[in-house]
A and B are shown apart, each in its own frame.
Chain A
Amino acid sequence: METKKWEPRIVAFLCNWCSYAGADLAGVSRYQYPPSLRIIRVPCSGRVSANMVLDALKSGADGVLVSGCHPGDCHYISGNMYARRRLALLKSLLEFIGIEPERFNVSWISASEGKQFAEVAREVTEKVRALGPARHLVKDF
């Protein structure tokens, strides 16, 4: 029986080389996690701009996850380092405009960390679920 509880919708930007592969491995290993993530594959976490995160929240996402290679392991040498700085700044901006910090999550998951991916997915989902729907940036007409 499927339980009917509110399922948050979380946009996940995953880098192609590590975290997207980690998410695949979670599947190969059949680690179960809530069906809340909508994964978007990007070449590198360094590709993720503030614009993309804000757009997700504007479109009605209840949370956002960005995940890349572990610092030092970037396929593109240093992309995740830029991501780390950029997303830290963005997080404080989001807090400033009144969005709970738990809604915006950044993690580093390698291609071999399927289990960790499932754990992060669960953790992020539960954090966002506890906060309820996000309507801060959504225009209601």
Chain B
Amino acid sequence: MAAPKGSVLVVGGGIAGVQAALDLANSGFYVHLVESTAAIGGRMAQLDKTFPTNDCSACILSPKLVECGRHLNINLLTLSDVESVEGEPGAFRVVVRQRPRYVDTEKCLACGTCAEKCPKKVPDDFNLGLGKRKAVYLRFPQAVPLKYAIDPEYCIYINKPGRCGMCAKVCPTGAINLEDTEKKHVLDVGAVILAPGFSAFDPSVLDYTGYGRFPNVVTSMDFERLLSPSGPTEGHLQRPSDKKEPKRIAWLQCIGSRDINRACHGYCSSVCCMYAIKQAVIAREHAGKDVSADIFYMDMRTHGKEFEAYYNRASDEGIAFHRARVHTVSPAADGDLVLRYADEQGRVREEEFDMVVLSVGLELDSRALDLAGRLGVALDADNFIATDTFRPVVTNRPGVYVCGAASEPKDIPQSVMEASAAALEAQRLLHGARWQETRTKEFPPERDVHAEPPRIGVFVCHCGINIAGVVDVKDVTEYAKGLPGVVIAQDNLFTCSQDTIDQMAKTIREHGLNRVVVASCTPRTHEPLFQETLREAGINKFLFEMANIRDQDSWVHQNQPEQATKKAKDLVRMAVAKVARKQPLPYNSVPVFKSALVVGAGVAGMSAALSLADQGFPVTLVERKDRLGGHAVKFYRTWQGAEVKPFLENLSRQVLSHENINVRFGVTVSDVEGSVGRFHTTLSDGSALDHGVAILAVGAESYKPGKGTFARDASSPWGRETFFHGARPDVYTLLELDQVFIKDPSSLSGANQAVFIHCVGSRIPERPYCSRVCCTHAIDQALKLKELNPDMDVIMLYRDIRTYGQREKLYQEARAKGILFVRYDLDHLPKVGEEGGGLVVQAHDPVLDMDVRFNPDFLVLASAVRPRDDVGGLAKLFKCALSEDNFMLEAHMKLRPVDFATDGVYLAGLCHYPKPMDEAIAQAQAAAARAATVLSRDEVPAESVTAEVDTRKCTGCGVCVRICPYHAVSPDPALRVAVVDTGLCKGCGACVAGCRSDAITLKNMGNEQILAAVDAAMEE
């Protein structure tokens, strides 16, 4: 391959595409992000809340979208589709067609005047047609780019040129271009990442659901919009037919999933059980606890981190779970609906509801299907993009990778992990071209303003009519001119427009300003933009303050213009008083040691190490044992049917022979100092190393019932049950049975009967989580037993079968092959005994409502995956946290699934949560991609607003040392004062408020600045 290109094409602007784009752009690659709608955000932007944390979806997504939109090295192509990809890995030529937006994004300020005046009301596709928007529209309030677009399908002018054109007449900046045309872009890239996402299953083909016929039958996506504050009902829960608040809501699971007969989708969609529970919880939050919420399901699949606890909580709060598949939805009086279903005992029941939500499954979007066809990317039997067990984001076409729900239905964290993993694969291919096509912003040198008295410029924004419609902006501007230190005050129609920004930089230079106040909207969105302007004008960006006279003034006092104007003056006065006392701050950064420490040499640790080493970064791989492979050496095959041993041998060989990997056997981490970019770690043999990042992949353990760790809690429903494990040779755990499959499978061929017990040690009060992997593993083993001896009776004693995603096909196969499934619950536990030298297993069959007895030749225990006991010590060394279940706790459960809250430390594999091998590999690659965002740089930025100790006042009491959540403050033993490590300090100020001697302050956020604002607030 000739020198590869240093840019990457990412197709799809949902959360997966956005994450992949950010990871690549932040580690030295130029990204073209192609999105088919008018704004990035994808499905996640349409969700109301996310499980299991109930975070507001748009709120947590929005910062990522903004970062993407502002990134110098991401070229956002909205309203665009990929037409073709020619060439080979490292050098692809891509043709992209961009449909006309009819709005000039350089000029559009998103003031909304066009949409206000547009006479054409059309169904809002973002709200799935539940509400209306105009023909000129913003896709959603937090849209990136925050620019309007004209829908050519509905626009009056475009359909009948010469008519209307109102938007062009009212646009204050002349941004409307009704003669806009399609553009063709030809891009040269080194790699392609596909993240086209999913479509929700359309249930109108399922007649029994009544969807499309009865207005109060909605899909789960519809319901998300009905719950959302930015949705058609502004978050007021109303049913479509009569706007009545529903009091009885039913969710029907598996609509378009696990249904080969009617929906043609055999697979499980993985996410619907959790989102249904979430919707039920949130619906009751919105409409009151007297709302009855009933979920009709087949198996409750809450197999992710903290999911089972969420399920238990919902159940305790009174959400009703019915194990039944509804066969008819029929209309009742007043728009109500009657559900007819058979309960578990086979009795037919009828129940009435106000509203029915169909938990629709996920399928590959039809446009993505076409795209895959155009690109020559292979699909699997379920029409998802096909991938390999051991290379989970690699497609059949070299140089083309896939992430997110396009390769299998999956939730947000899994999509984010795969997105980072796909970014990693692209980097592995293109690392030679890192920083070759990226751009860096250059700023002029900064003027030293220390010795100057404050010369403050105040810029007051009209924000169209958003502010000026309520606040007398001219009056505020005149008032600002008289404030101490102010040398110039101006008002602008839109302060954030490009021409005003340029003008502001000019004004700063011409008037020799050394402090700037912008009175406009919120600093949370606009501070970075104005701060950049200060830098462009040659002054330090921290000499800046905003007065929020829109979001916190004109918008909330719309009927009190006089008071709002007075408040605006107060806010400007406060900002002026504060900024006058601000000082230039350094742009802190920390130099980076370009090497990594990976702890744990299982599949995850080895995959992570190789992922970094292949890009040229030296890696030290630390393993406490004297061999590679971790638990994977005990595995027979993956759920896709691939044998683990050859893969593991190959992986180990690569690791041991890699010039950039130094494997250290028989040692553990004993001490860690420093922070991102410059860790200094001591190992148990006394040796030490410097490294820029760390990846923790220490794995987990298999729970062994016979080893007595089970019943520490006397209230455990299983009591001290050991199932004779360890005492009898015919009782196996799953991994022990895998050993037999590897070494001597024929020894099992003679057996007549095998019994599996699921959830041994999982989903019980002392270990409430689901171990995720055991259902699939056990069923695959049952199938293997059927391969060995088709006449063998295999009985599975289970609670819920959780063969999520495409694993469902194993469950279908098992049923087809006559494997018997008998459900048990915590009130009817299976009992294991001995009888005539053999085993006897007794269970209660809930369908027959009677006890059944088995005399198996052997018993298999699908035992839990449990966290390692020593994981807490390692986490503490790296200042990382553990979850309630003692797995390692990521920085954010949804959007930062491989980062720790501590910068520069990442996690992968089973120390995070139980997971199958393909997911562990993807997570390891994701961790490596995140690590590469640090290792690819010479230095990493650090917080500038940091704490500072006045050593003359410090008494060395140590309160700040104990308060600091980041361990950034430490005592200096010689001087007996506190010392702040600015590389660790995040600028929260907890130490400042805690200091007894007023000896510690936060730069530019000290008492001096804050009290000046307080005092100014109270001046008249």
Contact = CB atoms under 8 A, between A and B. Distances in A.
Interface of A: 2, 7, 9, 11, 16, 20-21, 23-24, 26-35, 37-44, 46-49, 51-52, 55-56, 59-61, 75-79, 82-83, 86, 110-112, 114, 118
Contact of A9 (B551, B986, B1017): B1017
Contacts of A118: 556
Interface in B529-569: 548, 550-553, 555-564, 566-567
A37 B1018 CA distance: 11
Interface-central residue, A16, A28, A34, by most chain B CB under 10 Å: A28
A23 B556 CA distance: 9
Contacts of B522: 20, 24, 27
Contact of B558 (A32, A75, A76, A79): A32
B963 interface: yes
16 contacts: A11-B1018, A24-B522, A27-B550, A28-B551, A31-B556, A32-B556, A33-B557, A35-B553, A35-B560, A42-B1005, A43-B988, A44-B988, A46-B993, A61-B1014, A79-B965, A82-B993
Nearest to A62: B1018
Contacts of B550: 27
B993 A30 contact: no
B472 to A, nearest CB: 13
Contacts of B47: none
B556 A56 contact: no
B570 A38 contact: yes
B1010 A40 contact: yes
Contact of A38 (B574, B986, B987, B988): B574
A120 to B, nearest CB: 13
A10 to B, nearest CB: 9
B989 interface: yes
B674 interface: no
A52 B990 contact: no
Given A35-B567, A47-B993, A76-B990, A40 B1018 contact: no
A59 B1018 contact: yes
B56 A27 contact: no
A100 B1012 CA distance: 25
A59 B993 contact: no
A7 B563 contact: yes
B59 interface: yes
Contact of B1018 (A39, A61, A86): A61
A44 to B, nearest CB: 4
Nearest to A37: B552
Given A43-B945, A44-B989, A48-B993, A16 B524 contact: yes
B1013 interface: yes
Contacts of B551: 23-24, 26-28
Given A24-B524, A32-B556, A43-B1002, A55 B1017 contact: no
A47 B524 contact: no
Contacts of A82: 963, 990, 993-994
B245 to A, nearest CB: 17
Contacts of A43: 945, 987-989, 1002, 1005
B901 interface: yes
Closest 4 A/B residue pairs (Cβ): A47-B989, A27-B551, A76-B988, A27-B555
B1017 A38 contact: yes
B524 A27 contact: no
Given A35-B566, A56-B1014, 8 more contacts: A11-B1017, A21-B524, A30-B555, A32-B557, A35-B567, A39-B552, A47-B1002, A51-B998
A60 B574 CA distance: 15
Contacts of A76: 965, 986, 988, 990
A44 B571 CA distance: 20
B901 A77 contact: yes
A33 B548 CA distance: 16
B524 A52 contact: no
B438 interface: no
Contacts of A29: 229, 234
B993 A112 contact: no
A24 B552 contact: yes
A27 B552 contact: yes
B729 interface: no
Interface in B48-75: 55-56, 59
B556 A86 contact: no
B431 to A, nearest CB: 34
| Majority secondary structure of chain B interface residues (helix, strand, loop or mixed) | helix
A2 B561 contact: yes
B1018 A9 contact: yes
Contacts, number: 150
Nearest to A138: B1018
Contacts of A83: 993
Interface-central residue, A40, A42, A48, A56, by most chain B CB under 10 Å: A40
Interface in B377-403: none
B992 A47 contact: yes
A23 B987 CA distance: 22
Contact of B560 (A2, A9, A46, A49): A2
A115 B551 CA distance: 13
Nearest to A56: B1014
A72 B113 CA distance: 41
B523 interface: yes
Nearest to B557: A35
Nearest to A38: B1017
Given A2-B561, A40-B1014, A52-B1014, A24 B548 contact: yes
A46 B990 contact: yes
B1015 interface: yes
A59 B994 CA distance: 23
A2 B990 CA distance: 41
Contact of A27 (B234, B556, B567): B556
Nearest to A118: B556
B973 interface: no
B555 A28 contact: yes
B1007 interface: yes
B1010 A79 contact: no
A77 B570 CA distance: 33
Contacts of A77: 901, 965-966
A24 to B, nearest CB: 4
B1011 to A, nearest CB: 5
Contacts of B556: 26-27, 30-33, 35, 118
B162 interface: no
A86 B1005 CA distance: 19
A42 B989 CA distance: 9
B557 A52 contact: no
A31 B558 CA distance: 10
B231 to A, nearest CB: 12
Contact of A59 (B562, B966, B1015): B1015
Given A27-B551, A39-B548, A55 B558 contact: no
B563 A35 contact: yes
Contacts of A111: 56, 59
Contacts of A32: 556-559
A28 B56 CA distance: 15
Contacts of A51: 998, 1007, 1011
Contacts of A30: 555-556, 558
B921 to A, nearest CB: 31
Contact of B988 (A35, A46, A49, A55): A46
B57 to A, nearest CB: 10
A47 to B, nearest CB: 3
A114 B556 CA distance: 11
B798 to A, nearest CB: 35
A79 B947 CA distance: 14
Contacts of B641: none
A74 to B, nearest CB: 8
A11 B1014 contact: yes
Interface string B956-993: 00000001011000000000000000000011111011
Interface string B828-856: 00000000000000000000000000000
Contacts of B994: 82, 86
B66 to A, nearest CB: 13
